[in-house]
Every structure is written in C-alpha cells, then in structure tokens.
Structure 1
Amino acid sequence: MARRESILTGPGSQALIVDLIRSSGPISRTELTAATGLTQPSISNIVRRLIDDGIVRETGRTPSQGGKPRTLLEINARARYGIGVQLGFESITIVATDVRGGVVGRQLVDGAGAGQPDETAERIVELYRAFLSGLGLDAASVAGVAVVTPGPIALAEGAILAAPSLPLWDGYPLRDVLADALGVPVIIGNDAAAATIGEFWSRQVSRNEAFACVYLGTGIGAGVVLDGALLRGASSNAGELGHVTIQIDGEPCYCGNQGCLERYAAPGPTIAAARAARDDLDDVNLTFDPASLSRDFDQLARAAVGGQTVAAELLQRSADQIAAATVTLANLFDLERIVLAGPGMAVAGSVYARAIRERLERSFFARNAHSIAVELSSNPRDAAAIGAAALVLQGSIAPGHGPSLIPAA
C-alpha cells in the first residue's frame, strides 16, 4: 500500500495536478479527484505539499448547494520566478516571468555577434545580476535560468551544437559556465521548443489539447505538446520543421540534407531573393547586411503588408511553403491548435496565419472531423525568452513534464 501511495503522489502526479490547477483553476480538490482518477487521500497529499511549498493557494469557496462548500485552489503566481534568456547573433533578450507566465521584466541588449563565447557568457552573467537588482527580485525566489538558441542543442551536456547563426559556440559548455557563475540551476534549450512551452503555459491551454507552435526566427522550428508535455525526442531536438524536405535533390542544407524548407522559406533565403529583385524594391530600404537580417525581414514584411507588389510576392511564397509544411505537422499529430511565434511573425504574422488557415481548411487530413485554430502569439519577438522562463518553472513546480533542474554546484 505504501508503494502504491508513493506512485500516486510522485512527480508525474504532481505535474498533472499543477497542470490542471494552472489550466482550469480555481478548482476544488473534489474536481481534481474526478479529473485525474487519483484517490482523495492522494490528491490531499499532493495539494498539501504544493500549498506548503507556496506553489498553490486556497482562494475562497464554492457556493453552498446543500452540502459543505468546497475550497477552491489556484496557482500562486508570485511563488517563484523563472528567468529566460534568448541568445541570438543580433540580440540577447532576458525576461522574468511569474508562475502563470506573466512577464514581470524584460531587457534587450546586443547579441553574441562574432564575439567569443566566454566574453558573451560573462556579459550574460552581468546582465542577469543587474536585471534582478533592477526588478528588486530576491535571488532566492528564482527557480533557475534557461538560455535558448536556434538548434541543435546537446541537452545532457548543456551545449549548443553547430547552430548556423552561432558557429563559434559549437560544443561550448554554456550551462556549466553560467551555473558556476550564477549559483542557480541552468538549462540550455531550443528556442522553438521553449516558445511552445511558453505559449502553452501562458495561454492556460488544456492538457487535453493537441497543441503546437510554429516558430519563425533565423530558421524555422516547431514544438508539439501532447498530454501536457512537450514532445522532445531522443535528444530534445524534436520539431525541426525547417528540415522537412520540400524539394527532392533541392538546395543543399547545412544539416546535410537537400531541399529543406529552411533553405527556401526562412528569412535568409527570402532576403536573398529580395536581393535578386532589388531593382523592384528600391522603396523598401533593405541593407542586405547579414548582421541586419531581422531588420531587413521586418522592412520587407512592412512593405508587403503595405501593398508593395514584389515584397508581397516574396513573403507570400515563404508563407505558402511554411503552410504546406504545417499541414504535414498537423497531419502527423492531429493538432487542435497552432500558435505562430518568433521574430519573423512580428510584422508578417497575419500573412502566414492566413496562408496556414487556408491550406489547413482544404488539405488537413482530419478536416471533416474537426477544425484547427490558428492563432498569433501576443508577444512573438519575445516568445522564446518567455518560454525559456516557463521551461524553468515547469521543471521546478511540475517535475516530470520538463527537463530536470540540476542544482548549481
């Protein structure tokens, strides 16, 4: 009996309870029992532990209907804070979020550029300390730090692996360097996967939904959440939508494949196509400087949305190609909701959303069984940083659904 009780009150059950309170709260213990199938004593034990840890709090009672009013439970938003760092070539974004995913602070600084990893890591340490001080956050309230970058990553080693936008970082032990300097748990993750968790967490999406996020940054990524947990794969590199083949024997890709979506529809190839048509884009003010790729893509998107014909054609081509790949993603996982995030969606999101909705309506395999909601992130540029913070919090308060938080030495 003791063994059964330990199973019912283990990390997986705590993650389930936290997820239900997060997405459905305020909720009573009786409703949690009905929703999970766990015994009332098990629910009571888990809830008591969560209340003692300050993660959950009681908040009023249900109206009496002849019996004893039920006490309601909700997540204590300010119980802990997660710090997310989005590391890119052009910029570094740091955010702090509470347990509900609410942003309590944000700062943007110059990116890694062509600088040495050690120098940038030292800047991140200084940024973190100044950031907490500026917000007045007690370091003891921070659950940890997650740094996210374009993939691939080596989760177990805490390192970036051959990211095309950060070539100098290949194999650099960023997690251990930061953990030693900061004295808090540190996770290294993929930006698209982090954005997925952030959108799932902050939108209070039900764990019963098949949920995905399509992320447009310097590359194209995606993440899928099933049963409340991010689908990670063998090495936490699942969801590389940009490396779906869309043209057999097409353009060579850095990944070793040919004809990858990313070689045709990402911001880099789109701006390269704009360079070829630059005579027709004189009024768009593009620099064609690789160090200003995000700025150029925003400029092209503004021109497209504003009706500039060539810009609109280039952006539509990218949107149509990503839409076709998104149908494949939806078919594989029978998705119910897709959110579009990432810096590339900040200006052009409406173009991509329309293309994806139209393609799903006519091509999604299960379209006669159910529709798919396609939504834009409310904060597309910071989605990965916000998601990184959520990744830390999920690993802290809902163990079993995220990567393990390894305490700093």
Structure 2
Amino acid sequence: MNSVARFGVGMQLGPQGLLWTATNMRGGILGRKRTPETPPHDPKLMVARVAHEYKAFLAALRLPDSASAGLALVGPGPIDQTDGSFKSTQTPETWSRFDMAKPLIAELEIPVRVENDANSAALGEFWSRQISRARTFACIYMNLGIGAGVVVDGALYRGASSNATELGHISLDPTGVSCFCGNHGCVERYAAPDAILGQAHQNEELKEQLAAAAGTLDTMGQFDYLARLAVRGNDTAATLIDVSATRLTHAALTLTNLFDLDHIVLAGPGFAVAGATFVSRLRSQLVASAFARHSHTITVELSSNPRDSAAIGAAALMLQSSVSPHRGTSKP
C-alpha cells in the first residue's frame, strides 16, 4: 500500500489555539501548523475559520484534496457524536448546541467528525506504535483536564456515547472537592494543572515566580514553568509535581485493574516537561499493586510527541475509518 496515497487531517481545539496535523497511512507526519488565536465563540465563525484553515493547510503542504481521508476535530469531552457538538466546560457554551461537522462536510466535501482528545491520542499512539491487537492498551491524556482512551482488540472502547474512560472523574474522596461533573473528589480536582498551580500559589516563593511569568503564560504555560523548576531541582516544585503524579497514579491503577491493561502511554501537554516523573511513579505503583501483576507485565511509556498526540491521533482516526469503516471510529 502506498503510504502517501491517502492522508488524514486532525485539528485539535485547545487553550493554546488550533493545532493542525496531517499524517500518512504509516503514521508519518506530513505537516504541522499551530494558529494561536483564540477560537471564536460564534460557532458559525468557527466553522468558517476551520474551512479556510483546512484549505490553506493542504495548499501549503501541496496535498491534493482528492487524497484526503477526512478531517477530525478533537477537543476535551464530553462530546456528542450524534449532533457533532462539543459540550465541554472548556469550549464556548454556544458550541454545545451546534453541529460542527455537518456544515464542514457540506463546505469541504469530505468526511468530518468530532472526537474526544483522549480517544484520539489513544488511537494515534496505538496505530503509530504498531501495537498488536492482542494487547489491551490505554493512553492517559493530560491537558487542562485528565482523560483516557482504551483500545481493546484494536478498537477504541467507546461506551454508550463515546465518552467512556473519563479518568479525571474517578473519585479519590467522595466527600472531597465538588466538581463540575456533579461528583466530588475527582482526581482532576487534585492532580490536573489548575489544581497543582493552586497549591503552588500557596507557597510564597513559587507564587512570586509564577506571578512574574503569568503575564505571558496561560495555565499550561505556567504548569510547564513549574515542571521545569521541578526538573531543575526546585524541591518545592518537585514535591507538587510528585503530588500530581501520585494522585493520578491512584486513578490509573483503578483503570488498569478494570481493563486488565498491559500497555499504557502517557500523552498530552501536561506530560511534556516532567513526564518522566509520572512514568516512574506509575511503573512503581503497578509493579507493587496491579491486580494481575503476577500474570503479566505492564508496559508504561511516555509519548514521543506528547503535545501533539491528540491532533496526530485525530488524523489517524480518519485514516483508520477509511481503511476499516466503523472499527474503533464510531459505535456500530
């Protein structure tokens, strides 16, 4: 099969703007582009912007429209694939009632779908690493929030509405901090970047350093800054990153036991700087506590491209759907 004959395009919605990627049939990246402008609140303007940027992206890479397997728009969950909408608190509320896919299908005349960022990252890592379908695989994804995607027998596990394996909303403390999801004590409220930055601001030294950097950095930029301090030997910052890793590991252990996982990859911007700390903590916990630890080993790795993993996976999603329709791309 000619790996360049078909390509998929992924576009990730995030606090850092829009990230575009195009990949070929072998998972090779054909091109990448980031547009830092904040997405418009008006969904119709967003659709117009996506259509324009899609055409410009292909033109810049000299990729023919006829070879496109389609476009996947990915962002934080929950999503609704039945009406093509994003319903996350991290995206404009006006988007929750608007079908993003339908007008883009009409304008671009290609397949278009919406997808959860963690699911996209999971499929992209599974496909690009050429992991055997015999493995039970998971990708733990951290950006502003925390999620996961699980691949079983080569297909994404989707649940009833493609919003399965919401790792960030496993409760660590049923009487703990309330969460927007309606639960209490969710791991996201204790381990996600916002939560860790909140603890960092309680330390005067870190508070001053973060305040000095805050003028040019968004939440993820500040989390990167804190992680760099940890990597460079700041004990207080290192303790906070370890707190995040420890709390995330508790939820990951539950996910591992539920699905009997044997391969886990950590992906997403939250792991871009101090990912090694999270990998080390999770490996140790699974060796000591995974229910099936005496039956098989569990591989834990860091994504080779954690910041772009969801966008790369989105492109892979369209390619997989063109090769094996309905396998891991939508509910049968």
Structures share a fold, TM > 0.5? yes
> What is the 5 A alignment of 1:285-324?
287-288=213-214, 292-324=218-250
CA–CA distance in structure 2, aligned partners of residues 150 and 111 of structure 1: 18
Structure 2: give runs of 5+ residues left out of the alignment.
none
Q: Does 1:189 align with 2:115?
A: yes
Name 2:162's counterpart in structure 1: 236
TM-score for the superposition, normalised by structure 1: 0.78
Residue from 200, 220, 229 that aligns with 1:274: 200
Change (3 A) 1:362 1:216: same
Name 2:255's counterpart in structure 1: 329
Moved more, 275-284 or 227-236: 275-284
> What is the 5 A alignment of 1:316-395?
316-395=242-321
Q: Does 1:249 align with 2:178?
A: no
**Are the aligned partners of 1:243 and 1:260 in contact in 2 as well (CA < 8 Å)?**
yes
CA–CA distance in structure 2, aligned partners of residues 315 and 170 of structure 1: 33
What letter is aligned with 2:221?
A: R
1:169-208 deviation per Cα after TM superposition (whole angstroms, max 9, x unaligned): 2222111122222221101000000000000000000000
Change (3 A) 1:258 1:290: farther
CA–CA distance in structure 1, aligned partners of residues 289 and 40 of structure 2: 43
Q: Taking every aligned residue pair, what percent have the same amino acid on both sides?
A: 46
Is the partner of 1:276 in helix, strand or coil?
Answer: coil
Measured after TM superposition, the shift of residue 276 of structure 1 is 1.9
CA–CA distance in structure 1, aligned partners of residues 330 and 69 of structure 2: 12
Name 2:61's counterpart in structure 1: 135
The structure whose Rg is larger is: 1
Residue from 208, 224, 234 that aligns with 2:150: 224
CA–CA distance in structure 1, aligned partners of residues 216 and 85 of structure 2: 24
1:138-194 deviation per Cα after TM superposition (whole angstroms, max 9, x unaligned): 000001000000000001111111333543422221111222222211010000000
Name 2:88's counterpart in structure 1: 162
Measured after TM superposition, the shift of residue 290 of structure 1 is 11
What letter is aligned with 1:351?
A: T
CA–CA distance in structure 1, aligned partners of residues 47 and 89 of structure 2: 16
Tell me the C-alpha RMSD between the 2 structures.
1.8
What letter is aligned with 2:308?
A: D
**Are the aligned partners of 1:271 and 1:288 in contact in 2 as well (CA < 8 Å)?**
no
What letter is aligned with 2:260?
A: D
Name 2:22's counterpart in structure 1: 96
TM-score for the superposition, normalised by structure 2: 0.95
Is the partner of 1:378 in helix, strand or coil?
Answer: coil
Q: Which gives a bigger RCO, structure 1 or 2 (Cα 8 Å, sep 6+)?
A: 2
Name 1:261's counterpart in structure 2: 187
Change (3 A) 1:163 1:179: farther
Alignment length (residue pairs): 331
What letter is aligned with 1:214?
A: I
Moved more, 385-394 or 279-288: 279-288
Measured after TM superposition, the shift of residue 288 of structure 1 is 4.8
Moved more, 86-95 or 204-213: 86-95
1:301-332 deviation per Cα after TM superposition (whole angstroms, max 9, x unaligned): 10011111111111110000011111111111
Structure 1: give runs of 5+ residues left out of the alignment.
1-55, 57-75
